[in-house]
Structure 1
Amino acid sequence: MTVAVETGIWQLDPTASAVALRHRTMWGLVNVKGTLAAVGGRGEVAADGTATGTVTLDVASLDTKNAKRDTHLRSADFFDADNHPEITFAVRGAELRGGDTAQVDGQLTVRGISRPHTLTARVTSADAEALTLEAEFTVDRAEFGMGWNQLGMIRGLTTVTAALRFTRAQA
């Protein structure tokens, strides 16, 4: 599928968007999965087809279906939600690369620490009024000051999966 995305301002639809995390723990034996339910953002597509914008995740909305674990993940050992309530991905540039894929260059900020991050997103639907992007990428939590690792239980990268639906903002 070859897509063309309309120029203008696009607002993220939080009711039709989802962001999930997956990380192997317990020496690689257990997969911990969670969602970040509160997601927001907006973007702008320029006349040349490039895009910029921001996606914001509310750390307090993290849900792994285990209240004790969620409280610990929100603590200073991990996300430090009291001091850093949001995770942001600021898109510095996104460009369609033929077909339905886009290279997205941006800056990921977690716990107040920002790092450049590039990922590939797939446009799964696009028309004049709505656009859906899907992406899966990995993040090294240690790069963002999340080094807590009791008994060496947590190893490897965290996988982030996102399905983001944007609708055209009203002029």
Structure 2
Amino acid sequence: MTVATGTWQLDPAASTVAVRHKTFWGLATVKGTFTAVTGGGEVGPDGTATGTVTLDAGSLDTKNAKRDTHLRSADFFDADNHPQITFAVRGAELRDGDTAPVDGQLTVRGVSRPQTVTARVTAADASAVTLEAEFTVDRDQFGVSWNQLGMMGGLTKVSATLRFTRTEA
């Protein structure tokens, strides 16, 4: 599979970023989806890609309004002071047919950490490409450390399906 050189824009209607986190001492899993996702990137002549995916921190929807309000608060994402979560791709290159190791920087609550992800190209043509990735994040490393009675420990799993359309060569 190849991805054409040029500028690419994220199609928010065809993209999803979801999280899963075990809570209540591992007995239940909280699932949510960010409803506001934007981004874009560029594929260079050598086949390497750079870009950014941005999530509106206040758009996380877990289907529970009270929990969503708490997740937006200073206990978790502090969306009033840190309205965006970003993943800045420093470099990615398609290898082994349909996989691309992605080196980037994840920023949550104003804290940035390196993050490596393996993305898989699930569809590609001259005008669009769809990527899927799944990775884990230690929320404590980003200051998202609220954990009443030890109920919220462990890693958060992030799943993304991102569709990009080519805007120019």
Who is 1:80 aligned against?
Answer: 78
Residue 170 of structure 1, CA deviation: 4.2
Choose the corresponding residue for 2:123, options 122, 125, 129: 125
- Does the residue aligned with 1:151 lie in a helix, a strand or coil? helix
CA contact (8 A) 2:99 2:119 kept: yes
SS in 2 for 1:165: strand
Letter in 2 for 1:145: G
Cα offsets for 1:67-91 (capped at 9, x unmatched) = 0000000000000000000000000
Q: In 2, distance between residues paired with 1:51 and 1:23?
A: 30
Q: Does 1:65 align with 2:63?
A: yes
2:145 to 144, 147, 154: 147
Matches within 5 A, 1:2-151: 3-151=1-149
Q: Distance in 1 between matches of 2:145 and 2:83?
A: 18
Secondary structure class of the residue paired with 1:154: coil
Give the total of aligned pairs: 169
Report if the CA contact (8 A) 2:40-2:51 is conserved: yes
Q: Residue 97 of structure 1 aligns to which amino acid in structure 2? A: R
Q: TM-score, normalised by structure 1?
A: 0.97
SS at match of 1:169: strand
Distance 2:105 2:168 in 1: 27
Runs of 4+ in structure 1 displaced over 6 angstroms? Answer: none
Q: Which runs of 5+ in 2 are unaligned?
A: none
Letter in 2 for 1:78: F
CA contact (8 A) 2:6 2:168 kept: no
Q: Distance in 2 between matches of 1:170 and 1:82?
A: 35
Unaligned runs of 5+ in 1: none
Task: Report if the CA contact (8 A) 2:30-2:62 is conserved.
Answer: yes
Distance in 1 (alpha carbons) for counterparts of 2:2 and 2:97: 10
What amino acid maps onto 2:127 in structure 1? Answer: E
Percent identical pairs in the alignment equals: 77
One-letter amino acid of the structure 1 residue matched with residue 56 of structure 2: D
Which residue in the other structure is 1:159 paired with? Answer: 157
In 2, the alpha carbon distance for the partners of 1:23 and 1:60 equals 17
Maintained 8 Å contact 2:128/2:164 = yes
TM (normalized to structure 2)? 0.99
CA positional deviation for 1:99 = 1.2
